[in-house]
Chains A and B, each alone.
Chain A
Amino acid sequence: MKASKLTGFCALLLLLSPSLASCGAAGNSSAINLRVLNWEDYIGEYELEADFDEDGEYETYPDVISAFEAYERIVNKKNVNVIYDTFDTNETMLSSLKTGKSTYDLICPSDYTIQKMMSQGMLVPFDEGSTPNYDASVSPYLNGQLDYITADDGTGKQTPISQYSRGYMWGTLGILYNPAKVSEETGVEEDTVKFDMADWNSLWDSKYHGQMSIKDSMRDTYSVGIMKLFDAEVKKAILDSGYYDENLDLKDGVDINAVIDKITTDPLYLEMDRVFNLSDQETVAKVEDVLLELKSNVFGFEVDSGKDDIVKGLIGMNLAWSGDAVYSMDRGENEAAETIYYSVPKTGGNIWFDGWVMPKSDSLHKEEAQEFVDFLSRPDIATMNMDTIGYTSFIAGQDVLDLVRNWYDPRTYAMYVYHDATLDGDSWEDSDFLYDEEGELVYQDGTGLHEDGDDYGSFDMTGSTYEQAVVNGEPMSWQEYQDLYNEQVAESEDEMLAWDIVDLTYMFEGTVETEGYGLGDTPDDNPYLFYTDELEAIPSPYGGEESVLAGRQFYAQYPPNYLIPKLAAMKDYGDNNRYVLSMWENVKGNNLPIWGVVVFACILGAVIIFAGAGLVTKLRYRKLRVERRKAARKQ
C-alpha cells in the first residue's frame, strides 16, 4: 500500500516536472525563469479575464502572474516562467541579497532602499521606452516624485531614481481610528476625536492615553516624532506659502493643481522635504525625547497586528499605512460593524513608494523583467492588483478611474443597483453591482428588482452616465439630481445628499481620454473630479471657525489634493542611520522598574542569606566533627 502510494507520487512528480520547467506547450523548449521578489500579499491573486490575442474572446486566468505567463506566450512568443518569492522587510531583503547567492531579476523595495541600493551600485537602469504602458499611465505627480528623489549612481553623479525604478504602489502614513471605541474608552465626544485626529499633537495628548498603538518600525515612528518636533516650523511654512489660511485649510481661489504641477520646485514642498529629512545628531536627540514621551502615552508598538486589533476593538487608534488602513476599514464595516476612519493630519506627513528595480547580476533577464513591469502597469492589471491588496497603484488610466468610480463615487450607487450579498448570507466579498444578461450594469429603478421586495432605488435612472443623470427619462446634472432627491425622497436632514467633490487631477491628468469634456469644475464635466459622500465636515469642538474633514477609504487611497503639497518622502538617512538606530534603541529600551529593583534585591538578599546560613552550618558541623574526633582519640 505504502509502496504503491510512493510510486504514484513519483509518477505524479515525473508528470509535473516537465510542465513546471517549460510551463505549457508554447513550443519554445528553453523556458526563461524570471525571478521576482516582492512583498507578501502584494500582487493580484483573484481570477481575472483578459484578451491578449485580441480575438475578441476573453480568457480567464487564476491570477496576475499566470496571466503574465500567458501574455508572454501569446504576445511576445516567449516561454517565461515566473518564480515568485516574497520578503517582509527592506532590511532583511537587503542583507540576504548582499550575503546570499540568490539572484533576482526584479525586486520591489521601498523608496529609501532603492536609493541605498542605487548608491551601492547594485542596480541596473531601465531602458528608455522599455515600459510604454507605464509611461502612458503613470500618475504625473508620482512620476515627478521619483524624478525628484536622487541618489549617487556610483559615478558620483546624482541621478533620479526614476531611471532605475518603476513605481508600483504608494501611500501615506496616517492615523487610523475608531471614534466610537475611543469615545467609549475615554469619554471624549466622537466629534472631538475626529477633530483631534487632524493633528499629530493629539497622539501626545493624555486624554488618549493607552488608546493607540504605533509602529515598531524605526523610520515610520521617527517621522511622526519629526512632525511633532517641528510642528511650529511646519505650520509657519504652510502659512508662508500663501495657499492655506490660518486653519491650514486651502484658501479660496488657490489653484492647487497648478501648485502640484510644479511641486518639486514649490517652496512649501521643499521646506517639508527639508524638515522631514533632518537626521543630524541634534535633531535625533530631540526626537528621542519626544518619542519617549509618546511611548508612555501609547498602548504599544506593533508592525502587523494593529490592523486587526483595531477591528477587534483592542485598540482605538493606530498609526497605519494607507493600504492597511483600507483593509481595516473594510473589515471593520463588513465584519464588525465598526466605522473606522483614517486621517493624515493637517500639517502633513509621510508619503512613501514601492518600486520595481533590477539588481545587477550575470544572469539578469532584463528584457523579460521590463516586460513584467510593463505588464503590471497595464491599467487593467493595475486594477486587479489594487483589488487584491488594497494599496494604491502608481498607474492611473481609464480602468483605474472606472475602479475608483465603482468603489467610491456615489453617482455609481445612485444609478446602478448594488447587490448586498450579505443579505443573502454570502460573504461581503461577493457584494457587487448587478449585471444583466449582456453583462451591462443594471440601473436603479426602484420597481421591485429584488425578489425579497427591497426597494433599492428611488428613481428610474435608466440611461444615466457619469456625465449626466437621467431621472425618470429626464436628463439633468448630478447636482440637480441631488436637489431632486433631497426634495422628493429624503425624509430627514440625515438622508439629504450633499456630495463633496474630490479633485484627483494630480493622479489622473493626461492618462485618460478627455475628449468631449469641458474640464470644468464639476465631476459631470471633468473626469478628474469625483463626487464623494464619505467626507464629514467636523466643526471645532473648542470654538472657533476651524473645521476638519474626516475621511475613510477613498481619503486613504487617494489623499485629497489639498494635502499633496504637505506630503514629503523620507529618504535614506545614509551615515546618520546609526544615530537614528541608537535613538530607537533608547526609545525601545527600558530601565528596570522600581518594583523590579525591589524584587531583584529580595532575590539577591535571599540567596546571600541562604548561602551564609549554609556556610555557617557547614562550619559548625565541621567543628563538632573535629571535637568529636579529638574526644575519641583521647579515649
Chain B
Amino acid sequence: MARAYSKTKRFFSFKRKYLCIPYSVFLILFVIIPIFIILVYAFTGSTEDGALYFSFDAFTSFFTSPTKINILVVSLFVGMLNTIICLLIGYPVAYLLANSKVNKNKILVLLFIMPMWINFVLRTGATRDVLSWMGINGGNHPYLATMIGMVYNYLPFTILPLYTTMIKLDKSQLEAASDLGANSFNVFLHNTLPQSLPGIVSASEMVFMPTLSSYVISDTLSEGKITLFGNIIYLNFSQSQWNEGSFMAFVMLILVGISMLVSRHFDRGEQSERRGTLW
C-alpha cells in the first residue's frame, strides 16, 4: 500500500515549478519562435517558388541605404530626446508624489497614471485635435507636435517607476546628510540622486525602447512627415519585403539588447535590490 502510494506520489508529485509551464509555453510560442522566424527571414532570400536560401541581401541593403540609416538615427534621436524630457518632467513630479504630505490618499498618483487607461490610439487622435486647436500641427511643426505627443504618452511610464523608487528612499540617510552639514543641493546630488538611480534606469528603459518602435504617434501627429524605424519596418512588411523588414526588426532587437546591457551596468551592486520595477 505504502509502496503504491509512493509510486503515485512519484507520478503526480506537485512541484512549484510546474506553475511556470503555462507561461513557458506562451514564451516559446509567442516570443522564442517568432524571434527565430525573424532571424531566419533576416538572413535568407526566397526564390520564385518560395524556397528559402541563405543570403546577406537584407543585411547589405540595410547598411548600404543611407535612408534607412538616417531613419534609424532620427528614431534614436527622438527616443533619446523623449527619454530626457520625460525624466526632466517626471522626476520632480515623482519626488513630490512620494511625499505623503502632498499626496494624501495617493489620489494624485492615480491622476497621473489615468491616461494609461485610455487606448493610446484614441488618445493620440485627441492630442492631434487639441494641438491643432492650439495652432501646433504636423504641417507647421512636425517635430514639436511629435515630441509633445510622445512625452504625453510616455510620461506615466516614467513617473510610475520613479515614484515606486522614491517612496522607498531611505529618509534617515537624507536627514543624516543634512545634519552633517550638507546643503540641500548636495543632499540631492550625493544622496537622493544615487538612491533613485534604479528608478531612473528603469524609467529610461520603459521610455526609450518603446519610442524607437512606436509609429502611430509620429504618423498621426507629424502628419506622416516624420518616419521612425517602426514605420519603415511596417512599410516593408506591407509591401511583402519580408526579408528587409525582418532584418530591420532584428536590428531593433539588437539595439534593445544593447540598451538593456547598458542599463544593467548602472544597476549593479546593492542598489539593484531597491529597484521597484519590471526588470
The interface of chain A, by Cβ under 8 A from chain B, is: 89, 91-92, 94-95, 210, 213, 216, 218, 295, 298-302, 305, 314-315, 577-578, 581-582, 584-586, 588-593, 596, 599-600, 603
Contacts and interface: CB of A to CB of B under 8 A. Distances in A.
Interface in B141-169: 142-143
A89 B140 contact: no
A240 to B, nearest CB: 36
Nearest to B67: A589
Contacts of A218: 239
A91 B67 contact: no
Contacts of A582: 65, 67
Contact of B226 (A302, A590, A599): A590
Given A91-B239, A315-B139, A581-B239, 11 more contacts: A92-B238, A94-B240, A210-B140, A295-B225, A299-B223, A300-B139, A301-B223, A578-B241, A589-B74, A590-B70, A590-B227
6 contacts: A210-B139, A216-B224, A300-B138, A305-B220, A314-B132, A581-B236
Nearest to A578: B241
A301 B223 CA distance: 5
Most B-side CB within 10 Å, residue of A577, A586, A589: A589
A593 B143 CA distance: 10
Interface residues of B, number: 35
A302 B137 contact: no
B227 A589 contact: yes
A586 B77 CA distance: 19
Nearest to A313: B132
A108 to B, nearest CB: 18
Contacts of A592: 70, 73-74, 77
Nearest to A213: B223
A584 B235 contact: yes
Contact of B238 (A89, A315, A578, A591): A89
B231 A91 contact: no
A584 B223 CA distance: 16
Contact of A300 (B67, B73, B223, B232): B223
A577 B239 contact: yes
Interface in B87-141: 132, 137-140
A603 B235 CA distance: 31
Contacts of A578: 241
Contact of A585 (B68, B132, B140, B223): B68
A586 B232 CA distance: 10
B35 interface: no
Given A91-B238, A299-B138, A596-B77, A591 B70 contact: yes
A302 B238 contact: no
Given A302-B223, A590-B74, A603 B239 contact: no
A592 B80 CA distance: 13
B71 interface: yes
B84 interface: yes
B222 interface: yes
B132 to A, nearest CB: 6
Contacts of A593: 143
Given A300-B225, A302-B223, A599-B81, A588 B132 contact: no
A210 B132 CA distance: 14
B67 A586 contact: yes
Contact of B80 (A305, A588, A589, A603): A603
A213 B70 CA distance: 24
A315 B74 CA distance: 27
B232 A585 contact: yes
Given A300-B138, A300-B222, A590 B235 contact: no
A516 B39 CA distance: 72
Contacts of B77: 592, 596, 599-600
A295 B225 CA distance: 8
Nearest to A91: B238
Nearest to B61: A582
A488 B76 CA distance: 72
A222 B139 CA distance: 21
A327 B232 CA distance: 31
B257 to A, nearest CB: 20
Contact of A301 (B71, B73, B225, B241): B225
Nearest to B48: A120
Nearest to B143: A593
A211 B124 CA distance: 22
B137 A314 contact: yes
A313 to B, nearest CB: 10
B19 to A, nearest CB: 28
Nearest to B139: A299
Given A299-B139, A314-B137, A588 B227 contact: yes
Nearest to B220: A305
Nearest to A295: B225
Nearest to A300: B223
B90 to A, nearest CB: 17
Contacts of A91: 238-240
Contact of A603 (B84, B226, B231, B238): B84
Interface string B205-246: 000000000000001101111110001100111111100000
Contacts of A302: 223-224
Contacts of B225: 295, 300-301, 590
A46 to B, nearest CB: 27
Contacts of A588: 224, 227, 231-232, 235
Contacts of B241: 578, 581
Contacts of B240: 91, 94-95
A295 B237 CA distance: 23
A92 B234 CA distance: 11
A-B pairs, 10 with minimum CB distance: A300-B223, A301-B224, A299-B139, A589-B67, A588-B227, A91-B238, A216-B224, A589-B71, A300-B138, A586-B67
Nearest to B222: A300
A126 B263 CA distance: 61
A556 to B, nearest CB: 24
A94 B132 CA distance: 36
Contacts of B73: 592
A510 to B, nearest CB: 40
Nearest to A89: B238
A578 B70 CA distance: 19
A591 B71 CA distance: 7
Contacts of A603: 80-81, 84
Contacts of A298: 139
A591 B73 CA distance: 8
A301 B224 CA distance: 5
